[in-house]
Amino acid sequence: MIIVTGGAGFIGSNFILKFLEASDENLLNIDNLSYAANLSNLEAIESDSRYSFAKIDIQNHSKVEALIKKVKPRAILNFAAESHVDRSIEGPETFINTNILGTYSLLKASLDYWNDLSKKEKEIFRFFHISTDEVFGSLNLNDKKSTEESSYKPNSPYSASKAASDHLVRAWHHTFKLPTLVSNCTNNYGPHQHEEKLIPQIITKAIKNENLPIYGDGKNIRDWLYVEDHCEAIMKILEKGKPGETYNIGGNCEKSNLEVVNEICEILDSKNPKKDGSLYKKQIKFVNDRPGHDFRYSLDISKIEYNLNWKPKESFSSGLAKTVKWYLERS
């Protein structure tokens, strides 16, 4: 049995589908079903006897603790998080509560559970915290990629809350010896993503013939990781990762926001041409930049490549084509 928190969200739901496809193990999904959650992402496994769901907020320590002790998991994977930077600027409190206090609640319950396990069960157990590249802060164009040893320099309320949660996990390992794992990933994309994120937002607005908003001059750079590749990396870390270690997960695919939007427009021009023959990129509109907008994120993934023999499989062009196709089929 493993527990996944935030399993109705984008990455969490993709992980659950991937895990149940590859494993015979039981899985419990804990999610409070906030605005970005969507249980329809998991329709394919709703009737699977190995899968169960509990609507619980991870900040509810007593309920979380009772559930953990009841199902006796060999691992807890924490995907639960508020993750949209714009929303963190408009209202940081939810991010502090979910990302910091929620992680603390999980750690406390996990440690209490772990302390009561047998020696063998203690050796098997893992607390796996899924985090972001944004904790390392902004890079300049010629800066080296962030490694697992890079200093934390979060700049938004979102990244600051995730950095704090990462530090809590580290502290629970160092101080209490809880066998923890942490991964930091780059920008994920793929089917089932909430429309507030760049790629699904651009696809859906383009189809509706609305303006395609791009912050500033569109030159901000992100590394893009197809969500299924991310899930495979998480599974690899869960089974082979060393307790107390952190692993960077990236797509080795840096692109400016404008490049991403142009590629989406080109796919739509081919797969969903407009009746009047006009190009989708004519809908692009540059808007005022986000406050404190980080210029570039990029992760060095050599550690997971060499130590765990993982590397991304999906190219950006093929992954983006799959993603556009998925949203087109549902438009």
Catalytic residue among 31, 82, 134, 314: 134
Q: Is 133 a catalytic residue?
A: yes
Catalytic residue among 158, 226, 247, 297: 158
CB atoms inside a 10 Å sphere around CB 287: 11
Catalytic residue among 133, 166, 228, 232: 133
Q: Is 134 a catalytic residue?
A: yes
Output the CA torsion 19→20→24→30 (10° steps). 90
> Which residues does 38 contact at the CB level (< 8 Å), separation at least 6?
8, 9, 13, 192, 194
CA 207 to mean position of chain CA atoms: 26
149 contacts 143 by C-beta, under 8 angstroms:
no
Helix then strand then coil, in percent of the chain rounded to 5, is 45, 20, 35
CA distance 46 to 130: 24
CA distance 126 to 117: 12
Q: Name the residue type at position 245.
A: E
Q: Is 43 a catalytic residue?
A: no
CA distance 82 to 9: 10
Task: Name the nearest CA neighbour of 33 among 50, 53, 61, 17.
Answer: 53
CA distance 7 to 227: 14
187 contacts 265 by C-beta, under 8 angstroms:
no
- The string of DSSP letters for 224-252 reads EEEHHHHHHHHHHHHHHPPTT-EEEE--S
The residues assigned a catalytic role are 133-134, 158
